[in-house]
């Protein structure tokens, strides 16, 4: 079992020295993120009821984004912004043809809509995450705000993680999508793939969606992970385990407008 006090001490006292908590030999850790939240109170509630430190990734352009972010934060869950990126559409979406000033305003607006976030991951983004300039700017902005980044890896051409790594931003990348095929059998098989990956490499990051089938499988299987030698941990702990820059305890979004840093105007 992971030692919470040991990792908390690492986070609080060893950050400045660059020390991280190494996984003890034979340990296997997993983090699970559920994307696309904020759309349905019923599905949001079912997701929130999942046992353990499951991360809630909330879309800004949903009717219940703000309320659910507050609810999830109050319940002690890690909340991240599920940021729309090209080919996603909508008022918050990032597209390659938009200037940095517009991207900055959209990021500000999205962070204002989803309070209590500890980090950001991309919704879609197969084209946007391949844009070096925009990704470099985003990682710098997240570092300034003390937020981490999760690369959903929707494209093999993504440069998001390398740009984060280049400046020492706390980040992780997705290993397994749970529900590309929306049947309980396929989702259970994808979860097993994540379990085997965690056993093999020590850690695995899984992303799913609030589909009824996904929630059904996770509600049944999460409690069985420990018996299979898997410890479910928070994304902050996962970042430490993977040896990236650790995050200060309870880091949350600071609502400093990003546009001022870019252009000096709102």
Q: What is the pLDDT of residue 243?
A: 78
- Predicted TM-score (pTM) above 0.75: yes
Distance separating alpha carbons of residues 18 and 14, to the nearest angstrom:
6
Query: Alpha carbon of 61 to those of 6, 110, 141, 154: distances in Å?
Result: 38, 8, 21, 20
Asked if the model's pLDDT at residue 18 lies above 80, the reply is: no
Distance separating alpha carbons of residues 163 and 134, to the nearest angstrom:
10
Q: Is the peptide bond before 87 cis (omega within 30 degrees of 0)?
A: yes
Q: What is the pLDDT of residue 232?
A: 98
Q: What is the pLDDT of residue 253?
A: 42
DSSP run (H or E) holding 95: none
Residue 27 confidence class, pLDDT cut points 50, 70, 90: confident
Query: Alpha carbon of 8 to those of 11, 26, 183, 210, 222: distances in Å?
Result: 5, 21, 38, 30, 23
Q: Are residues 261 and 104 in contact, defined by beta-carbon separation less than 8 angstroms?
A: yes
Distance separating alpha carbons of residues 6 and 16, to the nearest angstrom:
16
Query: Alpha carbon of 176 to those of 22, 43, 140, 210, 243: distances in Å?
Result: 22, 21, 26, 16, 20
Q: What is the dihedral of CA 188, 201, 79, 254, to 10 degrees?
A: -160
Query: Out of 9-18, 112-121, 198-207, 235-244, which region has the weakest mean confidence (pLDDT)?
Result: 9-18
Closest-CA residue to 51 (of 205, 221, 236, 191): 221
The pair of structure tokens assigned to 103 is 């991207």
Q: Give the total number of structural domains in the chain.
A: 1
Average pLDDT value for residue range 2-12: 39
Asked if the model's pLDDT at residue 262 lies above 70, the reply is: no
Which residues have C-beta within 8 Å of that of residue 237, sequence separation ≥ 6?
Answer: 2, 7, 21, 29, 31
Tell me the pLDDT tens digit for each residue of 131-164: 999 999 999 999 999 999 999 999 899 999 999 9
Tell me the pLDDT tens digit for each residue of 37-54: 999 999 999 999 999 999
Closest-CA residue to 44 (of 73, 18, 21, 65): 65
Tell me the pLDDT tens digit for each residue of 185-221: 999 999 999 999 999 999 999 999 999 999 999 999 9
- The domain that contains 34 carries what CATH number? 3.20.20.370
Domain that holds residue 57: 4-263
Q: What is the pLDDT of residue 11?
A: 40
Q: What is the CA radius of gyration of the chain?
A: 18
Tell me the pLDDT tens digit for each residue of 30-89: 999 999 999 999 999 999 999 999 999 999 999 999 999 999 999 999 999 999 999 999
Q: What is the pLDDT of residue 241?
A: 92
Query: Mean pLDDT in the chain?
Result: 86
Q: What is the pLDDT of residue 184?
A: 98
Q: What is the pLDDT of residue 234?
A: 97
Q: What is the pLDDT of residue 3?
A: 42
Residue 25 confidence class, pLDDT cut points 50, 70, 90: low
Q: Which residues of 193-205 are buried (b: 16+ CB within 10 A; e: fewer)?
A: bbbebbbeebbbb
């Amino acid at each position: 079992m992971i030692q919470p006090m040991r990792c908390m001490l690492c986070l609080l006292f060893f950050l400045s020295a660059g020390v991280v908590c190494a996984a003890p030999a034979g340990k296997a850790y997993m983090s699970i993120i559920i994307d696309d939240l904020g759309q349905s109170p019923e599905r949001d509630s079912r997701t929130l009821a999942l046992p353990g430190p499951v991360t809630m990734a909330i879309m800004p352009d949903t009717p219940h984004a703000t309320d659910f972010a507050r609810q999830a934060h109050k319940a002690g869950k890690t909340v991240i912004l599920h940021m729309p990126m090209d080919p996603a559409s909508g008022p918050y979406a990032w597209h390659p043809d938009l200037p940095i000033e517009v991207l900055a305003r959209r990021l500000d607006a999205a962070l204002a809509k989803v309070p209590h976030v500890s980090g950001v991951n991309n919704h879609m983004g197969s084209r946007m995450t391949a844009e070096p300039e925009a990704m470099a700017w985003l990682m710098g902005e997240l570092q300034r705000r003390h937020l981490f980044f999760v690369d959903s890896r929707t494209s093999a051409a993504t440069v998001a993680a390398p740009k984060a790594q280049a400046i020492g931003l706390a980040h992780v990348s997705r290993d397994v999508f749970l529900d590309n095929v929306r049947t309980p059998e396929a989702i259970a098989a994808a979860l097993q793939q994540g379990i085997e990956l965690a056993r093999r490499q020590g850690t695995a990051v899984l992303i799913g969606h609030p589909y009824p089938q996904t929630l059904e499988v996770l509600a049944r299987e999460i409690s069985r992970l420990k018996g299979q030698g898997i410890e479910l941990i928070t994304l902050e702990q996962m970042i430490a385990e993977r040896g990236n820059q650790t995050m200060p305890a309870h880091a949350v979004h600071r609502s400093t407008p990003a546009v001022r840093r870019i252009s000096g105007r709102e």
